Amino acid sequence: MDKFFLVAFLAVAAHSLEYKGYGGPILAKVEPVAYPKYHFEYGVKDGHTGDIKEQTEERDGDVVKGEYSLVEPDGTIRKVQYQDDGHSGFNAIVTRTGHAVHPQPAIPLAYGTYHH
């Protein structure tokens, strides 16, 4: 897919150069593109703020696989596992675990009352 975009870009660049009056053959130097392959991991665990999340991802050519998770404000954990093989699109599976906890709303006092 990347090669298609490179060829399309070069064709557009060559077309625009011809119409700017440069004329003659257009020479373009195409740099070799490295094979895309990587793996990374990332995580945060801040007990003070409650910011807890992690992610891993790896790529080998057109295939990308990864997952991430985070603690939602309600205390549940959202986990997303995803992949893209370069042909069938981005696919994700999202799960949520745990029991949501919501704080009780504050009950406003009636106007003019005073509690000590």
Residue spans per domain, the chain: 1-33, 35-102
Could you tell me the pTM of the whole model?
Answer: 0.60
Tokens of 18: 């011809």
Alpha-carbon distance of 88 to 85, in angstroms, equals 6
Percent of the chain beyond pLDDT 70?
Answer: 71
Which pLDDT value is given to residue 104?
A: 81
In DSSP terms, 45 is beta-bridged to 52
Task: Report, as an integer, the average pLDDT of 60-72.
Answer: 96
What does DSSP assign to residue 3? H
Whether the Cβ atoms of residue 77 and residue 69 lie closer than 8 Å to each other: yes
pLDDT in tens, 5-23: 444 455 545 444 444 455 6
With bands split at pLDDT 50, 70 and 90, how would you rate the model's confidence at 28? confident
Closest CA to 66 of 95, 40, 37: 40
With bands split at pLDDT 50, 70 and 90, how would you rate the model's confidence at 114? low
Q: Which residues contact 73 (CB under 8 A, 6 or more apart)?
A: 50
